[in-house]
A = this chain, B = another copy of it.
Amino acid sequence: MNEDAIIRKLRRHAPLIGDDCAVVPAPHGQDLLFTTDFSIEGVHFTQESRPEQIGRRAVARSLSDIAAMGGKPLYCLVSLALGRWTDRRWMNGFYRGVNQLLRETKTRLAGGDISHAPQLVCDVMLCGSVGSGKALRRSGAKVGDSIYVSGPLGGWRHKPEIVPRLDIGRKLIGKATSCMDISDGLALDLHRLSIASGVAAEIDSVPLLEGASLEQALHDGEDYELLYTAHPERRVPGIRIGTIRKGKPGMLRFRGKTLAPIGYDHFQ
């Protein structure tokens, strides 16, 4: 297949593709949300991974960022630098995974770029919307707030499928004081939320995925559950795991002991 043939094929699923840019109406009276996430061979998946799953996960990671802000996903750009080993069957499987999740979440594929590279690289950009000034942020947690997660944790080993928590994110608008998604492990991500909010945090208990250890739930990556805080008397969905405390911003405690903010770091 040459480049134009690949693009003709993609257009069947994405009528917005064809000009130099996708053209879509701006949502009225809303804020736009932008996020982008790489999925890279040898880092996020291998040649042995199922192409449907690579495609689905690549989109799910960006959708999870939209969920973390309480947003609604609108448009998606999928860029692919194909490796030498990728064939038509792989492409079909990959886009099957992408399109399935986009359909489920009512997100439109609006374009992308196609190139080649020694290793396969995918970059997914998502544009979403949220009521003007309503986006959930990392920075609003207050001393005394309860800390919640949207589901049990344990890292990617125990979680074959990412389910972006879009419904829960939207329900938290106007209720949660802060929110983010857990992509690099509870400890590191709660540390980040606490730094952004200028507070410390204490964890009492951690809900575990079946078969996962506490260590994995605290420090493994790719959970993609939401982590959020709310006034203790505010009713919110999810599982309560602790309390925001006064203290050095970013300091974590777990059952009375200091907890190191160790998680998945792309550079260590």
Contact = CB atoms under 8 A, between A and B. Distances in A.
Interface in A4-63: 4, 6, 18-38, 40, 42-43
A34 B75 contact: yes
A117 B40 contact: yes
A161 interface: no
Nearest to A122: B123
A244 interface: no
A49 to B, nearest CB: 16
Given A4-B192, A32-B26, A267-B1, A117 B42 contact: yes
A23 B19 contact: no
Assembly stoichiometry (copies): 2
Interface stretch (A95-103, A124-132, A142-150, A231-239): A124-132
A195 B43 CA distance: 40
B266 A196 contact: no
A119 interface: yes
Given A121-B81, A125-B77, A26 B31 contact: yes
Contact of A123 (B3, B20, B123): B123
Contacts of A4: 192, 265
A266 B114 contact: yes
A33 B26 contact: no
A118 interface: yes
A113 interface: yes
Interface in A82-121: 110-119, 121
A25 B31 CA distance: 4
Contacts of A129: 26
Given A2-B268, A3-B266, A38-B81, A21 B115 contact: no
Given A19-B139, A42-B117, 7 more contacts: A1-B267, A23-B33, A26-B28, A26-B129, A40-B121, A42-B118, A113-B123
Interface of A: 1-4, 6, 18-38, 40, 42-43, 64-66, 68-69, 71, 75, 77, 79, 81, 110-119, 121, 123, 125-130, 132, 135, 137-139, 180-181, 184, 192, 196, 265-268
